[in-house]
């Protein structure tokens, strides 16, 4: 299945990140933070408060204790009588009252890096990530903005290994390798696939026996990309399956982002994705990462005896990782669709913030190069 031009979809995501012009004008505040030689104009929405600004600074410079920070107004608006703001006295101050002003921040080094994380709720953290990502995105050139949006949007937003199984870190590394696979990255961007959660499958929970023999499910896709589950481990839990075989299963599950049934349209898209992944994979080997942690490629591997990719895409219900493991925090509780989407949204904003940070770094590096060499 050939996809159409992706620009309208990119523009749609850009509109989500930019402050709305229909509801209220954007708020621009110049932030100065001398310890980090930071002097930039940040962009916020008019409903954001001073607390949101401080939380965004906490994400930008986490080694400082922003709960004890002070903001000095270099250009005080006539409607504001005080010349200094603090998180404890002015958390609800609308940023709209500070439009076009300059704030010089002072903050001590934090003794505990987790202090801000524990103080903020998940909703507040997400709000801060949005503010930081919007501000960084606004500073990027158009070409870098498009790339940053694509990198942060068309990917696997959350990876999760099963904590109740041994060597879960190796499974997480397996999932990370799939996420960063050049062929998979190419397909995710080309087809504009966004997957909320990529996780491993518990083999015993997806193996059944009958008179006809043993059936092993290799992958599942719920709600067209909300969750994709892959069988990474061998049946006896003593090793991991062939990397390229698992990657082929992932290609199959990605096709379920579009088609639920195994009909002609599905199989055409599935084969197209497989070809594109192979064509864009410059490594061409199952032993390129991890010094042989995973089985090498054997070439032409498909479904083995008693193995099947899945029963088609499925929808609805509460999802429990691996049928009994739970989220990486070990809670073991079911995840409703709303919670999966919320976690994916937070991961997406965090990914956008990282992507824009990297693009800003590239721009600064190019600027230094234009100046006549490295310092």
Catalytic residues, by residue number, are: 253
Q: Which of 9, 18, 351, 363 is nearest to 180 (CA)?
A: 351
Tokens of 174: 């397996």
Asked if 132 and 353 count as a contact pair (C-beta separation under 8 A), the reply is: yes
Q: Which of 308, 312, 302, 326 is nearest to 207 (CA)?
A: 308
DSSP 290: S
CA-CA-CA-CA torsion sign (354, 356, 360, 366): positive
* SS3 assignment, position 259: coil
Asked if 136 and 360 count as a contact pair (C-beta separation under 8 A), the reply is: yes
- Greatest extent of the chain over all pairs of C-alpha atoms, in Å: 83
Can you tell me the distance from the alpha carbon of 36 to that of 375, in angstroms, rounded to the nearest whole number? 18
Q: Which helix (H) or strand (E) holds 214?
A: strand 213-217
CA distances from 251 to 172, 187, 238, 341 (A): 19, 9, 25, 22
Q: Which of 336, 84, 328, 294 is nearest to 199 (CA)?
A: 328
Can you tell me the distance from the alpha carbon of 320 to that of 323, in angstroms, rounded to the nearest whole number? 5
* SS3 assignment, position 23: coil
Burial 346-374 (b: 16+ CB within 10 A, else e): bbbbbbbbebbeebbeeeeeeeeeeeeee
CA distances from 300 to 13, 55, 102, 163, 303 (A): 38, 51, 62, 32, 10
């Amino acid at each position: 299945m050939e996809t159409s031009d992706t620009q309208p979809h990119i523009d749609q995501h850009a509109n989500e990140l930019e402050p709305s012009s229909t509801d209220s004008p954007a708020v621009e505040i110049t932030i100065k933070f001398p310890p980090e030689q930071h002097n930039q104009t940040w962009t916020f929405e008019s409903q954001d408060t001073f607390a949101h600004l401080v939380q965004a600074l906490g994400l930008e410079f986490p080694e400082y204790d922003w709960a004890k920070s002070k903001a000095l107004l270099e250009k005080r608006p006539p409607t504001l009588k005080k010349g200094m703001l603090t998180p404890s006295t002015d958390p609800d101050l609308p940023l709209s009252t500070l439009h076009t002003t300059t704030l010089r921040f002072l903050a001590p080094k934090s003794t505990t890096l987790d202090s801000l994380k524990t103080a903020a709720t998940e909703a507040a953290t997400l709000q801060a990530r949005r503010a930081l990502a919007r501000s960084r995105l606004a500073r990027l050139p158009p070409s870098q903005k498009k790339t940053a949006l694509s990198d942060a949007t068309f990917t696997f937003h959350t990876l999760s290994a099963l904590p109740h199984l041994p060597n879960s870190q190796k499974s997480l590394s397996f999932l990370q390798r799939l996420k960063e696979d050049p062929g998979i990255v190419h397909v995710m961007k080309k087809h504009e696939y966004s997957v909320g959660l990529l996780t491993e499958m518990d083999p015993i929970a997806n193996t059944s026996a009958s008179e006809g023999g043993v059936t092993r499910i290799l992958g599942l896709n719920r709600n067209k990309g909300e969750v994709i589950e892959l069988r990474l481990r061998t049946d006896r839990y003593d090793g991991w399956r062939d990397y390229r075989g698992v990657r082929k299963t992932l290609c199959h599950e990605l096709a379920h982002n579009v088609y639920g049934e195994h009909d002609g349209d599905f199989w055409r898209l599935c084969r197209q994705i497989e070809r594109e992944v192979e064509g864009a994979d410059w490594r061409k080997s199952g032993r390129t990462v991890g010094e042989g942690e995973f089985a090498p490629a054997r070439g032409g591997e498909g479904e083995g005896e008693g193995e099947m990719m899945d029963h088609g895409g499925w929808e609805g219900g509460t999802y429990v990782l691996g049928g009994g493991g739970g989220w990486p925090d070990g809670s073991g509780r079911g995840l409703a669709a709303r919670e999966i989407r919320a976690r994916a949204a937070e991961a997406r904003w965090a990914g956008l913030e990282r992507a824009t940070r990297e693009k800003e770094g590239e721009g600064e590096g190019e600027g230094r190069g234009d100046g006549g060499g490295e310092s």
